[in-house]
Structure 1
Amino acid sequence: MRRIESVFLLIAVASQWTCCLSKPPNIIFILSDDLGYGDVSISAMVNRTNEIPTPNIQRLADEGMRFLRGYSGQVCAPSRCTLMTGKHLGHCRVRGNDGSYCPLLPSETTVAHVLREKYTTGIVGKWGLGDFNTTGYPLEQGFDHYIGQASQVACHNWYPATMQNNTLGNYPIAGNEHASQANCGEHHSKCTWANDLFNREAIRFIRENGQASVEKPFFLYFSTTTPHTGFLAGAKTSWAVPAPYDTRFHFDTVESAFAAATSAQDDFVGAVLDEVKSLGIDQDTIVFFSGDNGPDSHPFTFFDDPGPFRGKKRSLHEGGVRQTITARWPGHIAANSTTEHLFAFWDFLPTAAELAGVDVPDNVDGISAAAVLQGQTAQKQHDYLYWEFCNYGREDGLLPQQYEPGWIQAVRYDAVDAAGVRTEWKGIRTAYGEIQLYNLTDDISESVNVSTKYPDIVTKITSIMAESHVENPYWKSSKNMSDRCCASCFNHKGCKYPCVQINTTAEVESVYDAHYPELSEPLLYLSPYYLLGDWLQADYDTGVDVEKRDSEFRIHIDSSGIAMHVDSPTDACIHKARIDLHPDDTNSYQQAMLSQTNASASCRKLSTGKLHTDGSSLFIVWREPRGPIDNQNPVASIWKKPHFDFD
C-alpha cells in the first residue's frame, strides 16, 4: 500500500496556459524501437552494473518531466496505433502486429488529422499502420510530409536500397543498391544507415519549419528503428550500426552492438534538443520521448533491460508495456520533475490537441495530460488502462510469463480508499478464462496471484474487460482455449481462418487490388524479410537431431513471386531459389513451393520444398541431396525460426 500525500507528486511551476501563447507550441514525439525500460538512465529500479550511457535522454528528463507510470502497447504496430489514434487496444483498428494486413482507413482520425488545422505535420522513420498506396499511408492519415519505411517488415532492413519519400514509393538511397558487410566497407561508411538518414531528415524538418518567419507551428513524429534488430547482409550481429557508434563499447560482441544501437538513439535525441535550442524555439517546443514496447532479441541479464518487471516485448505483463515517458518544455514544464499520473500512449492525441487548442475527437479513450505537464492540480484521472492481444508464443523475460498463450486481455487501475491509500491492481486472463490478479503496489514483478483473496476486484476487472473489448473481424478474439484468435496475417488479399479470409470493406479491397493487381492468389507477405541466426534444423529421413544453425534467409516479394537466398555458413554455400505461390487448402498455413534456380558446384542443390508459417514460427522445408551433388539419395530438412513474430 502507498499513502498519497499529493495526487501528482510533482513540483508546481508558474507557467502560462496555451491560450496566452502567441501560437501553440511545436510538438515533437520521438519514438524508439524495442528500447528496454532499463536501457536508459532515466528509469528507476534498474541494476546499473553494466550501463549504456544515455546523456541526452537524461538531459531531456532533467530539463522536463518523467511519467514514472508510463505505458505503451505491447508490440510495434498496436503501440503505434494507440499512439496515433488515441484509442486503447480494445478499440484500435490495428490490434495485431500487422499494419499491412489491416491498414488504417480514411474514417480514422489520427493526431496528425487533429493538428493539421493549425500545424505543419511530418513523420520521419517507421510507420507500420499502412503501406504505400493504401489508405493507411501517412499522407492519407493527416501528415503533410513523410520520409521513411512505411512497412514495419521493411523496417528490418537497416540499409534499404529504397524507401518512401512522400508520393514516391521507391526512392533510391545512396550507396545502398547492393548493401552488404563487404560492399559497405569499414564501419559501413560507403552505405547509408536508415536511422542516420531519419535523423538528418528530422533535423531538416525542424529547421525548415521552426524558423521565426514560419507562421504555423509544426508537429514532428520521429520514429526510429533502433535498437530493434536490423539487417545488413553478411553482418556478424543483428545490430550493424555504422561509425561513430560502433566503436564506443567493448563488451562482448552482442552486448557491444546492442549498446551502440542504443547509444545512437541517444544521439538522435541530442540532435533534436540541440537543433531546437539553436533555433531559439526551446520555450516554444514540447518534446516527448518513449520506447514503443518492452525489450527483445538479446539476453537481458547484462543490461537488466526489463528492470524489475516480468515479461518482455509482446507480453501483457508490465515488462511488455511499461515505459518511462519523458516530456520537456522549458518555461512550462518544471525541470527535473516527476509524476505518478498514469500516462498511456492513447493519451498523446488528446494531450497534443489540448496543447494546440483544437478539439479532441469524441471517440478517443485517452485523456489529456496537459494539466499535469504544466503543474496544475485539476488533472483528470484514468478509470483504467486496457490491452488485448493474440499471441501463441511465450514471452519470458528475466521473469517467465505467468498466463497461458492465446487471446489475452489485461486491465490495470488504481483504487484509492477513504484514507487516501492507493492500491495498483493488474488483471490478466487468456480466452475468457480465470483472471490472474496482481497487487502492483506490493508486487511489481507480478509474482503472486491474489485473485482468490479479492473476488470483488476480480469482478470489477471482468466487467472492465467486457466493456472495453469491441469485436474486430480482422483481429478475431478467442472464446476458449481451443478457439484460435488472429495473431498476424501478412497477406494483402486476405487470410485463412482465424484471420479474415476476404476483406469485406470494398474500399480496402480496391486499395489492395491497386497495390498488387497482377496477383490473383493470396500472397504470403514477407517483403522484404531477412531472417538471421537461431534457426533450428533437422534431417527427417536420417533422424539427425535438431541443431542450431547460424544461417541467413533473405526473402523478398516482387510481382512474379518470392525470391529467396539462403546463406549457410556450415557448408559455405549460397542457395538461390524461386518460390511459386501455391496456397495450401488443407490447414490454416499460407504455403508456397520452392524450386532451385542456381547453386554453386560445391554446394548441395535444393530441390522441391515449401515455406509456411503458423503465425508464430516460420518453417522452410526442402529436399536436398546428402553429400556430393550427384548423390541420388536426398534427405528432407526442416528449418524452423522459433517464436517468429513478423514484427
Structure 2
Amino acid sequence: MKKLVSLAIGLISLSALTFGQNKKPNIVFILADDLGYGDLGVYGQKIIKTPNIDCLAKQGKLFTNFYAGTTVCAPSRSSLLTGLHTGHTYIRGNKEIQPEGQEPLPDSVETYAQLLQKAGYVTGAFGKWGLGMVGTSGEPAKKGFDQFFGYNCQRQSHRYYPTHLWENNKKIILQGNDLKHKATYAPELIQQKTFAFIDKNKDKPFFLFVPTVLPHAELQGPDDVFLKMYKGKLTEKPYKGNDYGPDATVPGYASEPDAHATYAAMVSRMDFYVGEILQKLDKLGLTENTIIIFSSDNGSHREGGADPEFFNSSGGLRGNKRDLYEGGIRVPFIVKWPGKIKADSKSQFVGAFWDLMPTFTELTHAAKPRNSDGLSIVNELLGKPKQKQHEYLYWEFHEGGGRQAVKMGNWKAVRLEVDKNPNGIPELYDLAKDPAEKNNLASQNPEIVNKMEKYMGEAHRESILFPFAKN
C-alpha cells in the first residue's frame, strides 16, 4: 500500500513538473510613446537616467536594428497589432473622429490579441488605444482585449490630467481635473489598474499590453522626486506650450518653465513604472515564465517644447517623429525571457513591428494569422540558427506631402513629396557607412534605386481612407 501511495505521489509530482515546463508563457509588452532611439542609457543616453530599462537589457536581448510600424502613433500601432506594414494595414494615418476618437479598425481586421484570446490567454491593455472609440468596430473589447483602462482617444492623451479615462465601455470621470486644475495624474492611476490585472490573473496565462503615454507631449507631470532630479541642473528653456492637436494649446494649462527638466523627468518616471511592473512580476513569482518586451511607437518628438537635439534623443540618427529617416522609425527594442533568451546579448537582426504577430502566435501556440507581412523572430530571440530574414522593409506616411521608405540590406531609400511627384527619384543611403543618412547616393546607384522603386510599388496597396494625393 505504501508503495502504491509513493508511486501515486511520484506520478502527481511528475505531472506537475511536466505541466510547469509546458505552461504557456505570459507576455508583457510595454510600449513607450514618442521615446527616441537614443533616450535610454543602454542606447547611449548621457543625461536622462533609465536604470530599470537598462537593467532589463542586461538581463535580456537588445536589438539595434528594430523598427516601428511607421513614424506616428495610430498607423504604427495598427501595424503592430495587425502584423501588416503601412502599405497594407488598415489605419495608415492619424484620422480623427469627433467628438472623441480615431478612425476604427473594422470588423474584418484581426489582431494578435484576438488570436491569443482564442489560445486561452487573458488579455489586458492599459494606457493609450487610438484605434477605435467605444461603440465602434475598433474598440479594445472587439479587438481582443478582455480589459482596457486608459485613454481611448490619442487626442485626449496629450493631457496628463485629463477630465476622464475609459474602463472598457465605461467613462471614468476624474474629479478635480480641468484645464487649470490637476487632481489626478492619469499615468499613476493606469499603473495601479495594471497591477490589479496582474494580481487577478497571476494563475492564468496572460497577455499584458502597456501602451504608456509617457513621454508624449504635453510636457507635464507632478512636481516630485523625478522633476527634482533634473530641475535647476539642465539648461533653462522657456516652455512653449503644447502645440499639438486642435484643442491642445490652453493658456495656463501647462506652465512648467524648464522643458528640459520636465522631459527628462517624464522619461525617468516611465522607467520607474517599468521597474515597478518588473518588481510586481518578481514578487508574484511570475518572472521566470514571462516574456517582457519594451519598445517605442516611433521616434523622438518635438511637441510641447521637447528638444530632441539637446538630449540626442535620436541617438545620432537623422530625423524625428514624422520623418521616415532612421530617427523617426528606428526604435529601442528589448526582450527578456529568463532561461530562454541569453542575458546581456545583442542582436543586429533587421525587424519591425509586423514581426510580432507571427512571433507571438508561435510562442503561444496560437492559430497562425490569416495575413501577415511579418516573420516570426523566435529563432533570433532564442539564439537558434536559421532565422529567416526580410527581403526588405517598407513604410509610408500620409502627412507632410506623402512619404515612402524602403530598407534592403544596408541600403535605405526615402521618397518625399509623393503627393506632388509619385514617381520622383528617391534619396538613397548606405546605412552601413552613413547611418546618419547624410550622403544621398541615388545618382551613383541607379540599379539600386530602380530596385527600391519596384519595392515601393509592390508594397503599397491603395487605401480609400488613406490615399496618396495622386489617387
Q: TM-score, normalised by structure 1?
A: 0.62
2:53 alignment counterpart: 57
Task: Give the superposition deviation at 1:22.
Answer: 2.2
1:134 alignment counterpart: 136
2:166 corresponds, among 164, 167, 174, to 164
1:618 alignment counterpart: none
1:145 alignment counterpart: 147
1:218 alignment counterpart: 206
Task: Give the superposition deviation at 1:161.
Answer: 2.1
Query: Secondary structure of the residue that 2:442 maps to in structure 1?
Result: coil
Larger gyration radius, structure 1 or structure 2: 1
1:413 corresponds, among 402, 408, 411, to 408
Amino acid paired to 2:112: V
Deviation per CA, 1:197-226: give whole Å up to 9, x if none.
11111121112112xxx2x30001101111
Structure 1: how far apart are the matches of 2:309 and 2:121? Answer: 44
Deviation per CA, 1:79-105: give whole Å up to 9, x if none.
111111110000011101226452101
- Identity among equivalent pairs (%): 39
1:77 alignment counterpart: 74
2:321 alignment counterpart: 313
Q: Is 1:42 paired with 2:42?
A: yes
2:445 alignment counterpart: 454
**How has the CA–CA distance of structure 1 residues 116 and 456 changed in structure 2, closer, same or farther, with 3 Å as cutoff?**
same
Structure 2: how far apart are the matches of 1:176 and 1:75? Answer: 31
1:524 alignment counterpart: none
2:115 alignment counterpart: 114
1:506 alignment counterpart: none
1:22 alignment counterpart: 22
Deviation per CA, 1:324-367: give whole Å up to 9, x if none.
20001111111000011112111111111111011221311111
Task: Give the superposition deviation at 1:160.
Answer: 1.5
Q: Is 1:94 paired with 2:91?
A: yes
Aligned length: 416
Structure 2: how far apart are the matches of 1:52 and 1:176? Answer: 31
Contact 1:83 1:348 survives alignment (8 Å): yes
Structure 1: how far apart are the matches of 2:126 and 2:431? Answer: 36
5 Å-filtered alignment, 1:185-334, equals 191-210=183-202, 214=203, 216-230=204-218, 238-250=219-231, 251=234, 252=236, 253-297=258-302, 298-334=306-342
**How has the CA–CA distance of structure 1 residues 78 and 99 changed in structure 2, closer, same or farther, with 3 Å as cutoff?**
farther
Structure 1 moving runs of 4+ over 4 Å:
none
Structure 1: how far apart are the matches of 2:114 and 2:309? Answer: 42
1:346 alignment counterpart: 354
Query: Secondary structure of the residue that 2:456 maps to in structure 1?
Result: helix
Contact 2:162 2:178 survives alignment (8 Å): no
1:536 alignment counterpart: none
Q: TM-score, normalised by structure 2?
A: 0.85
Q: Which has the higher strand share?
A: 1
Query: Secondary structure of the residue that 2:22 maps to in structure 1?
Result: coil
Task: Give the superposition deviation at 1:240.
Answer: 3.0
Amino acid paired to 1:434: I
**How has the CA–CA distance of structure 1 residues 448 and 20 changed in structure 2, closer, same or farther, with 3 Å as cutoff?**
farther
Query: Secondary structure of the residue that 1:226 maps to in structure 2?
Result: coil
Task: Give the superposition deviation at 1:316.
Answer: 0.3
Structure 1: how far apart are the matches of 2:427 and 2:466? Answer: 23
Deviation per CA, 1:394-445: give whole Å up to 9, x if none.
xxxxxxxxxxxx111100011xxxxxxxxx0001113221111110000111
Runs (5+) with no aligned partner, structure 1:
1-17, 185-190, 231-237, 393-405, 415-423, 484-647
Task: Give the superposition deviation at 1:179.
Answer: 6.1
Query: Secondary structure of the residue that 2:356 maps to in structure 1?
Result: helix
1:440 alignment counterpart: 431
Structure 2: how far apart are the matches of 1:71 and 1:177? Answer: 36
Amino acid paired to 2:53: I
Amino acid paired to 1:89: T
**How has the CA–CA distance of structure 1 residues 87 and 171 changed in structure 2, closer, same or farther, with 3 Å as cutoff?**
same
Deviation per CA, 1:167-202: give whole Å up to 9, x if none.
21x2122x434463xx44xxxxxx211111111111
**How has the CA–CA distance of structure 1 residues 271 and 197 changed in structure 2, closer, same or farther, with 3 Å as cutoff?**
same
Amino acid paired to 1:448: N
Structure 1: how far apart are the matches of 2:264 and 2:436? Answer: 25
Task: Give the superposition deviation at 1:244.
Answer: 3.5
Query: Secondary structure of the residue that 2:191 maps to in structure 1?
Result: helix
Q: Which has the higher helix share?
A: 2
Amino acid paired to 1:264: R
Contact 2:358 2:376 survives alignment (8 Å): yes
Deviation per CA, 1:586-622: give whole Å up to 9, x if none.
xxxxxxxxxxxxxxxxxxxxxxxxxxxxxxxxxxxxx
Task: Give the superposition deviation at 1:277.
Answer: 0.8
Runs (5+) with no aligned partner, structure 2:
1-17, 237-257
Amino acid paired to 1:331: G
Name the structure, 1 or 2, with higher relative contact order (CA <8 Å, separation 6+).
Answer: 2
